[in-house]
Chains A and B, each alone.
Chain A
Amino acid sequence: MKTLNKILAVLAVSLIAFNCSNNDDDQGMMPEPDFSGTFSQEDQMGRPAINTVFVASADKDMFNVTVPSNQDAAFQSKFQSNLMALSPAFENPGDMNALGQDAAAFTGLLATDVLNVSLDGTTTFYDGTNVLTGRALGDDVITVELLLIFGGEDFMENPGLSNDNVDANDKTFLTSFPYLASPH
């Protein structure tokens, strides 16, 4: 079977041939790059700001090397304690956010730090209608998270804490690949 490695080697040769006019000793064959070795995890991320907001300082490195399928068991109760201490909107039993989640349900969702993405349509962290169907570049994810943490059942509680009032990026995104704006 033709492996990707060979395909890539061919692509690399064609790129070299196309781009490099000063390659005097081009032998017409690229050595395959060395992709050997074992790579060990250092950082991971699913939803925005989870490690930074909900994980205690002493646990931050451990969170980054706990596989998602083990994160709920390792971190949900800690997340719940932290949420109830952080937000007045969750300090009383029965308090919920605007998704109808109490502290246990909300942190049960967040502790497994994966991004849920729909393959069937709109992809957004939250757009007023769709919830957690992806994350688009323009999504105001921090305000969404602040609202869910501080905004209470109706997004009306703690208004000074539930919106950072930065609603958009400083550069316009592209409509086409690679979508992100050019660097400053």
Chain B
Amino acid sequence: MKNLKTVLGIGVIALAVFFIVAADHIDAPAVQGGNSDITDFYAFQGENTDNLVFVANLQGLLSPSVTSAALFDENVLVEFNIDTDQDNVEDLVIQAIPKDGKMYFFGPVAPSQTGLKSTIETQAITGGVVDISSYGASPKITSNEGMKFFAGPRDDPFFMDFAQYSEIIAGNATSFNSPGADTFKGTNVMSVVVEVPKSMIGGSGTINTWVESKRK
């Protein structure tokens, strides 16, 4: 991790404009290395094809030795945004907020306000709660009204030869290696996973979706 950050520092200086850190790991100065730093976002059809799964990962590049001590910040809200009418404004949100070892989920629900500021939508009639899973233990999963919930440490599913990309961008190499080396091999993230019936988020057609972290 330290090596990667050192490499990153060099990359920023050498390049100043273009560098890939990862999918979204350490993407910007204000969030990098903090507990609101989103590393990745996934949305895919569930094992039950009537459901859609949302995954938000935070706090990238956790080594195994530090993962057991990693925590969600109770002042950081993770919010999945869902636009159902193609205007890129959220019509529904699913909020995940940790309290006292549990992750509370509110939604899908129409937010009381869209945009950069949020309050917790405690009036929502759908949602759930799950104990935050511990490192080294089986994942704790709960279900409520067709939704499923998980929060806790997982393997970082992202893969990329970031180190060689940095070398290319820095002018020290002209191509990727074959085979490449996964810079994220052996690292963990803090994951929030929620599975939701498609009927709760528009039913059919195409949605536009994104994830946000917001701090109290």
Contacts and interface: CB of A to CB of B under 8 A. Distances in A.
Say whether A and B bind each other. Answer: yes
List the 7 closest A-B pairs by CB distance, nearest first.
A160-B175, A60-B28, A39-B214, A165-B180, A35-B120, A48-B23, A46-B210
What class of interface size applies to chain A in its complex with B? 35 or more
A8 interface: yes
B27 A64 contact: yes
B159 to A, nearest CB: 5
Interface in A21-70: 33-46, 48-53, 55-57, 60-61, 63-65, 67-69
Given A11-B129, A44-B210, A114-B208, A178 B27 contact: no
A156 B187 CA distance: 33
Contact of A169 (B157, B164, B207): B157
A166 B216 contact: no
* Max chain A C-beta neighbours (<10 A), residue from B62, B154, B216: B154
Contacts, number: 313
A163 B45 CA distance: 26
Interface string A2-23: 1111011001100100010000
Contacts of B77: 39
Contact of B27 (A46, A51, A135, A171): A51
Secondary structure call for the A interface: loop
Contacts of A119: 52, 198, 201-207
29 contacts: A3-B122, A4-B106, A4-B126, A5-B122, A8-B127, A38-B216, A39-B119, A39-B215, A42-B31, A46-B41, A49-B20, A52-B20, A53-B18, A60-B28, A67-B116, A114-B210, A117-B43, A117-B207, A119-B206, A136-B44, A164-B180, A170-B182, A178-B150, A179-B193, A180-B193, A182-B139, A183-B64, A183-B136, A183-B153
A165 B159 CA distance: 10
Nearest to B62: A183
Contacts of A60: 27-29
B123 to A, nearest CB: 6
Interface of B: 12, 16-25, 27-31, 34, 36-38, 40-47, 52-53, 55, 62, 64, 67, 76-77, 83, 87-89, 97, 99-100, 102, 104, 106, 114-120, 122-129, 131, 135-136, 139, 141-142, 144, 148, 150, 153-155, 157-161, 164-165, 168, 174-182, 184-188, 191, 193, 195, 198, 201-216
A16 B27 CA distance: 39
Nearest to A65: B116
A128 interface: no
Interface of A: 1-5, 7-8, 11-12, 15, 19, 33-46, 48-53, 55-57, 60-61, 63-65, 67-69, 82, 85-86, 112-124, 133-137, 140-142, 159-161, 163-171, 173, 175-184
B41 A61 contact: no
A164 B216 contact: no
B104 A8 contact: yes
Contact of A44 (B18, B38, B131): B38
A134 B45 contact: yes
